[in-house]
Amino acid sequence: MKTCYLIILDSLGIGGAADAAAFGDEGSNTYKAIYPYVKADCLHSLGFDNIDGLDFATPVREPLASYGRIVERSKGKDTTTGHYEIAGLIVRSPHPVYPYGFPADIIEKLCKAWNVRGVLGNKAASGTEIIKELGRKHEKTGLPIVYTSADSVLQVAASVDTFGLDRLYDCCEKARKIMSGKDSVGRIIARPFSKDNDGNYYRTPDRRDYALMPPAKTVLNALSESGIEVVSVGKISDIFCGYGITKAISAHGNKEVGDGILNYKPERDSLLFANFVDFDMLYGHRNDVKGYANCLNAFDRILPDILNKIGGDDMLIITADHGCDPSTPSTDHSRENVPVIVYRKGAEAKDLGTIEGFYYIAELIADFFGVPYRVKEVDAAPEF
């Protein structure tokens, strides 16, 4: 029996994307931005700082794992696109974005479906800032807050106290049906919030993502159809709409994700696919450089326990889905190359160099389990 542990450090890019300027991200480098505050001895020992292009970091002489950097082939820098390619789908046409807000016809459809007379916001904004700006007006009027970012996403924020969590989820389910065809944004996200005794608004941990069904079968399908358990931890199941996943472990935040990994006991050949969301959600999007570094340091402290789970037949892969440089003026994702660490107990550590395509991960996993899978080029909208 063997297990592959696939860990996504959400948004931990390492810069160097040749096409970064085309995305408005020239010079972005998430890891370099946080490096002065990083104390990640375990990652260092695996060879993280030996990766191509990290000329600001100090390499280790005898790394314990194979290491490299991966260049994204897909035309995007969002969560959905990054995860799709990691799972074997190259997205050649990106999901639509609405940097100036959603057009009147979409807002009209949303209002009709939600039975409201209007919405608040309808602009690109930071999620924490927009609830500060519009939270009181939302509570007074009962109108949901709609906003987006540079990524392909429609986010709906509402108070769990006055609007209600179930009603917010219902709005997002209806929005997912409306945002189809040419308007097929990668994700609809429910952003519930509340306020403390001092009247300060804060997000609750009840976020829910409503993604598109993947446009074609991924390596997850190839594995599950071959009798291999595919277990998601955290938001992975939401990203893939459960397609190809046999078991989903709910986890909100990095601590719960880590607990999900450490407590998992495989009963047959398995892929455990986990996303550590806090890097992106709590620190990258909030331009918190030190907070991001401390988040990586915290992950590094549980990494030895994860390594202890890796048996002689197992494999651990650590990578990322995009960047989110917290040191730039932007609070959005950044187009960057991503790291890859491949650890197998007793295996020779290799310099993997610069690898073309996040889909390398899908091919590596398929080969590990001896399951045939062919990488596909797809458009963002589903083909079935």
Model confidence over 4-34: pLDDT tens digits? 999 999 999 999 999 999 999 999 999 999 9
- As a whole number of angstroms, the distance between CA 80 and CA 381 comes to 12
Q: What share of the chain is helix, strand, coil (3-state, %, to 5)?
A: 35, 25, 45
Closest CA to 172 of 158, 189, 186: 189
**pLDDT tens digit sequence for 141-165:** 999 999 998 788 999 999 999 999 9
pLDDT exceeds 70 at position 328: yes
Res 186: pLDDT = 86
pLDDT exceeds 60 at position 297: yes
Element (H, E) at 138: helix 127-141
Res 287: pLDDT = 94
pLDDT exceeds 50 at position 222: yes
- As a whole number of angstroms, the distance between CA 163 and CA 161 comes to 6
Res 381: pLDDT = 57
**pLDDT tens digit sequence for 164-176:** 999 999 999 999 9
Q: What is the DSSP letter of 297?
A: H
Percent of the chain clearing pLDDT 90 (strictly above): 86
Confidence of residue 324 (pLDDT cuts 50, 70, 90): very high
Res 128: pLDDT = 87
pLDDT exceeds 50 at position 311: yes
How large is the average pLDDT for residues 52-81? 95
Confidence of residue 273 (pLDDT cuts 50, 70, 90): very high
Q: Which residues pair with 355 in a beta bridge?
A: 70
Q: What is the DSSP letter of 279?
A: I
- As a whole number of angstroms, the distance between CA 220 and CA 7 comes to 14
- As a whole number of angstroms, the distance between CA 166 and CA 327 comes to 36
**pLDDT tens digit sequence for 335-360:** 999 999 999 999 999 999 999 999 99
Res 380: pLDDT = 66
Query: For residue 369, what are the contacts with CB-CB under 8 A and spacing of at least 6?
Result: 2, 4, 223, 226, 228, 269, 271
**375 SS3 class:** coil
Closest CA to 276 of 214, 331, 319, 238: 319
Please check whether residue 321 is in contact with residue 10, taking contact to mean a CB–CB distance below 8 angstroms.
Answer: yes
**378 SS3 class:** strand
Res 383: pLDDT = 44
Q: Which long-range contacts (CB under 8 A, 24 or more apart) does 15-19 make?
A: 15/53, 15/323, 15/336, 15/337, 16/53, 16/69, 16/336, 16/337, 17/71, 17/72, 17/323, 17/335, 17/336, 17/337, 18/71, 19/335
Q: Which residue has the tokens 């790291």?
A: 339
pLDDT exceeds 50 at position 262: yes
Confidence of residue 212 (pLDDT cuts 50, 70, 90): confident
- As a whole number of angstroms, the distance between CA 72 and CA 85 comes to 8
Confidence of residue 384 (pLDDT cuts 50, 70, 90): very low
Left if phi > 0, otherwise alpha if psi is -120 to 50, otherwise beta: which for 174?
A: alpha
Among 109-113, 120-124, 147-151, name the one with the lowest average pLDDT: 147-151
The mean of the pLDDT values for the chain is 95
- As a whole number of angstroms, the distance between CA 39 and CA 49 comes to 12
Res 176: pLDDT = 95
> Up-side HSE of residue 37: CA atoms within 13 Å toward CB?
16
**pTM of the full predicted structure?**
0.87
- Cα separations (Å) of 292 from 24, 45, 51, 245? 22, 20, 20, 30
